[in-house]
Chain A
Amino acid sequence: MAFSALRVLKEGLTGNSGWTPHWRDPAPKDEYDVVIIGGGGHGLATAYYLAKDHGITNVAVLEKGWIGGGNVGRNTTIVRANYMMPGNSEFYSHSLKLWEGLEQDLNYNVMHSQRGQITLFNSDGARDAAMRRANAVINQGDDAELLSVGQLKKTLPYLDYDQTRFPIYGGMLYRRAGTARHDAVAWGLARGADRRGVDIIQNCEVTGIDTQGGVVQGVQTSRGPIRAKKVAIVVAGRSAQVAAMAGMRLPIESHVLQAFVTEGLKPCIDHVVSYGMLGHFYISQSDKGGLVFGGNLDGYASYAARGNLPMAEHVCEAAMTLMPMIGRAKMLRSWGGIMDMSSDGSPIIDKTHIDGLYFNGGWCYGGFKAIPASGNCYAHLIAQDRPHPAGAGFRLDRFATGRGLMDEEGTGSQHNLH
Chain B
Amino acid sequence: MKIPCPLCGARDSREFSYLGHAGLLDRPAPDAGDAAWDDYLHNRDNPAGVTEDLWSHDYGCAAWVVVTRNTATHGILSSRLAKDGAA
Contacts and interface: CB of A to CB of B under 8 A. Distances in A.
Interface of A: 238-241, 249-254, 299-304, 308, 310, 343, 399-400, 413-416
A248 to B, nearest CB: 9
Interface in B1-31: 1, 12-14, 17-21
Nearest to B17: A299
A310 B1 CA distance: 9
A303 B41 contact: no
B20 A415 contact: yes
A184 B51 CA distance: 36
A65 to B, nearest CB: 15
Nearest to A412: B41
Given A302-B74, A308-B13, A251 B42 contact: yes
A253 B74 contact: no
B41 A254 contact: no
B71 interface: yes
A303 B48 contact: yes
**Interface secondary structure of B, over-half rule:** mixed
Contacts of A300: 13, 18, 53, 69
Interface of B: 1, 12-14, 17-21, 34-35, 38-39, 41-49, 51, 53, 69, 71-74
A416 B41 contact: no
Contacts of A252: 44, 46
B71 A304 contact: yes
Nearest to A400: B38
A301 B53 contact: yes
A172 B20 CA distance: 34
Given A240-B48, A304-B73, A400-B34, A416 B18 contact: yes
B77 to A, nearest CB: 14
Contacts of B45: 240, 249
List the 7 closest pairs (A to B, CB-CB), nearest first.
A240-B46, A251-B42, A343-B42, A303-B48, A399-B42, A400-B38, A249-B43
B43 to A, nearest CB: 5
